[in-house]
Amino acid sequence: MVGAAAIALATAGCAGSGGTDNSGDEAKAGEPRTLTVWLMNGSAPQTLTDSLNKEFEKKHDGVTVKYEVQEWNGIQDKLTTALGSQEPPDVIELGNTQAPSFASEKVLTDLSGDVDKLNGDQWLDSLKASGEWDGKQYSTPFYAANREVIYRTDMFEQAGITAPPTSRDEWLDAITKLKAKFGKDKQFQPLYLPGQNWYALLSFIYDEGGDIAKKDGNDFTATVNSDEAKAGLEFYKQLVDASGTTAPKDNDEQNPEQAGIYGQGKVAMMIALPWEVDTAAKDHPDIKEKTSAFPIPSKNAGETAPVFQGGSNLAIPLNSKNADLAKEYLALMLSSKYQAQFAQAGMVPGASTDLSALDANPVSKAMAEASKNGKSVPATPKWATIEAGQNPLKDMLTAYLTGAKSIDAATDDANKALDAAFSGS
């Protein structure tokens, strides 16, 4: 009942709030105004935001930017209460999978008319899609990141693998070679792959030409029992079997944290985000110079597999009293000048197709290469349940990999569960 009480308190606290008519509140230019900006922890380096805020304040007389860094943990609740308050932040960052649930509730400012001003022709497709609802644009791309194969250069060399794999066959071949070279060590794993890395699974399904759902207007129908999706799942199992990974089949890449296991030095490859290398290097600093990355290989030799694109969007809350200023702020942030700085910081910028700044580091270079072919999860507010933890794709993976269900039963069950989530109230 604690949860219920919390809801009551949260809503009671907001009683009577919102719904204010802000047209009359907008101060005249020149009067002191404060623009509140919420970005997430780890999104933007401080040097970047410092110069951005300075430039913005210089351009707009009398405006102070109140820049606040938020933690991902508990952000959904914090945004819920903040958006309902009289004085919400003026610019917010939303996880790209969260964005549709905010857009569908119409609590964000419609930005459809400002797309051109906001560098719209440079936007990353997958993030643009996650900001759309009902044919309108409610949030803009911010930055993206995707998974790649992180590997040990020294182990590859010793196993006689001269170049990083560029096809599934070469990838499996590399696993065989690594096993032959290091297999005597019982703890060695050519590839660390836990049973529930559904981001990797999405990549394999996309590569087969499949997807997890089909879009029809605002509605989605699950398609994980299609032949393409089954082929993707088969390949996942093939990787698990070929590598003989001892990672748990009933858990994901965060439990236990795969970077920590990679850091212990008995793993030659993992499917991970670029910054997981830094996590691994925290306890084992020497591993960084022995690490590089390549994009997840496709079944078609020479191509890279499409990837699940995670990332963030930017939006202006509906109750913002400074929506005009907030749009200006977004325009500056999405300008090529600052987008280039994001790329230098190791992210795939959401509003720039120029990724050359990422080439300096081989680990970010691999991500940039794959990012051109990225997709996001279905842009539906119903994804919230799945995001919260009850993910049918994870259950499907565990059921099939442990042999608890056949591939047909596992995919049919997941399809049913996804459809229920998509249509559920």
Partner 1 sequence: MTATAQITVPAGSSPPAPPRAGRPRRAGFGERTVPYLLLAPAVITMLVLLGWPAIQVVGISFRKLDLGELVRGEVVWVGLDNYVSVLSDPEVWTITLRTVLFTVACVVGTVLAGLLIAVLMRHLSSKVRIALQVCLVLAWATPILATTTVFQWIFDQQYGILNKTLVKLGFESFAGFSWFSSGASTLTVIGLLIVWQAVPFVCFTIYAGLLAAPRELYEAASIDGASGWQTFATVSWPAIRSLVTLATFLSVIWDFKVFAQVWAIRQGGPDGESTTLPVVLYLKGIAQRHFGVASAIAVLMIIVLLALTARYLQLLLRSREADVS
Asked if 134 is part of the footprint of partner 1 (rule: CB under 8 A), the reply reads: no
Would you list the DSSP string of 129-167?
A: HHTEETTEE--EEEEEEE-EEEEEHHHHHHTT--S---S
Asked if 105 is part of the footprint of partner 1 (rule: CB under 8 A), the reply reads: yes
Exactly one of 61, 77, 227, 324 binds partner 1 (CB under 8 A); that residue is 77
Asked if 389 is part of the footprint of partner 1 (rule: CB under 8 A), the reply reads: yes
For the beta carbon of residue 409, count every other beta carbon within 10 angstroms. 14
- Give whichever of 245 and 376 is closer to partner 1, judged by the CB atom: 245
Query: What count of Cα atoms within 13 Å lies in the side-chain half-sphere of residue 273?
Result: 19
Exactly one of 38, 56, 102, 143 binds partner 1 (CB under 8 A); that residue is 102
Alpha carbon distance 360, 221 (integer Å): 41
| Residues 114 and 327: beta-carbon distance below 8 Å | yes
Asked if 412 is part of the footprint of partner 1 (rule: CB under 8 A), the reply reads: no
- Give whichever of 365 and 394 is closer to partner 1, judged by the CB atom: 394
Asked if 5 is part of the footprint of partner 1 (rule: CB under 8 A), the reply reads: yes
- Give whichever of 71 and 354 is closer to partner 1, judged by the CB atom: 71
* Beta bridge pairs of residue 374: 307
Tokens 């609740």 correspond to what residue?
77
Q: In the bound complex, what is the minimum distance in angstroms from residue 80's beta carbon to partner 1? A: 6
Exactly one of 51, 187, 255, 356 binds partner 1 (CB under 8 A); that residue is 255
Alpha carbon distance 127, 143 (integer Å): 8
Would you list the DSSP string of 189-250?
A: BSSB--TT-HHHHHHHHHHTT--SEEEETTEEEE-TTSHHHHHHHHHHHHHHHHHT--S-TT
Residues present in the chain in total: 425
Exactly one of 402, 406, 408, 423 binds partner 1 (CB under 8 A); that residue is 402
Biggest CA–CA distance in the chain, Å, is 75
Site string for partner 1, 202-241 (x = CB under 8 A): ----------------------------------------
Q: In the bound complex, what is the minimum distance in angstroms from residue 267's beta carbon to partner 1? A: 14
Kindly report the backbone phi and psi dihedral angles of residue 345, in degrees, each rounded to the nearest multiple of 5, phi listed first. Answer: -80, 0
Asked if 41 is part of the footprint of partner 1 (rule: CB under 8 A), the reply reads: no
- Give whichever of 77 and 359 is closer to partner 1, judged by the CB atom: 77
- Give whichever of 84 and 349 is closer to partner 1, judged by the CB atom: 84
* Choices 44-52, 100-108, 155-163, 326-334 (CB under 8 A): range interacting with partner 1: 100-108
Asked if 78 is part of the footprint of partner 1 (rule: CB under 8 A), the reply reads: no
As a 3-state breakdown, the chain gives helix, strand, coil percent values, each rounded to 5, of 45, 20, 40
Alpha carbon distance 209, 306 (integer Å): 9
Asked if 40 is part of the footprint of partner 1 (rule: CB under 8 A), the reply reads: no
* Choices 110-118, 202-210, 212-220, 380-388 (CB under 8 A): range interacting with partner 1: 380-388
Asked if 319 is part of the footprint of partner 1 (rule: CB under 8 A), the reply reads: yes
Q: Which of 113, 114, 116, 139 is nearest to 126 (CA)?
A: 139
Exactly one of 84, 310, 350, 374 binds partner 1 (CB under 8 A); that residue is 84
* Choices 97-105, 167-175, 216-224, 265-273 (CB under 8 A): range interacting with partner 1: 97-105
DSSP designation for 295 = P
Asked if 163 is part of the footprint of partner 1 (rule: CB under 8 A), the reply reads: no
| Residues 109 and 122: beta-carbon distance below 8 Å | no
Alpha carbon distance 91, 309 (integer Å): 22
Q: In the bound complex, what is the minimum distance in angstroms from residue 249's beta carbon to partner 1? A: 6
Q: In the bound complex, what is the minimum distance in angstroms from residue 77's beta carbon to partner 1? A: 7
Exactly one of 69, 242, 345, 384 binds partner 1 (CB under 8 A); that residue is 384
- Give whichever of 115 and 384 is closer to partner 1, judged by the CB atom: 384
284 by DSSP, 3-state: which?
A: coil
Asked if 251 is part of the footprint of partner 1 (rule: CB under 8 A), the reply reads: yes
Total number of residues that touch partner 1 (CB under 8 A): 56
Alpha carbon distance 149, 157 (integer Å): 16
- Helix H segments across 345-390? 362-371, 383-388
Which tokens sit at 216? 């029809």
Q: In the bound complex, what is the minimum distance in angstroms from residue 67's beta carbon to partner 1? A: 23
Asked if 31 is part of the footprint of partner 1 (rule: CB under 8 A), the reply reads: no
Residue 318: partners with Cβ closer than 8 Å, 6 or more residues away: 83, 106, 107, 108, 109
What does the binding site for partner 1 look like in residue numbers (CB under 8 A)? Answer: 1-5, 7-9, 11-12, 14-19, 76-77, 80, 83-84, 101-102, 105-107, 246-251, 255-256, 317-319, 381-382, 384-385, 387-392, 394-395, 398-399, 402, 404, 413, 417, 425
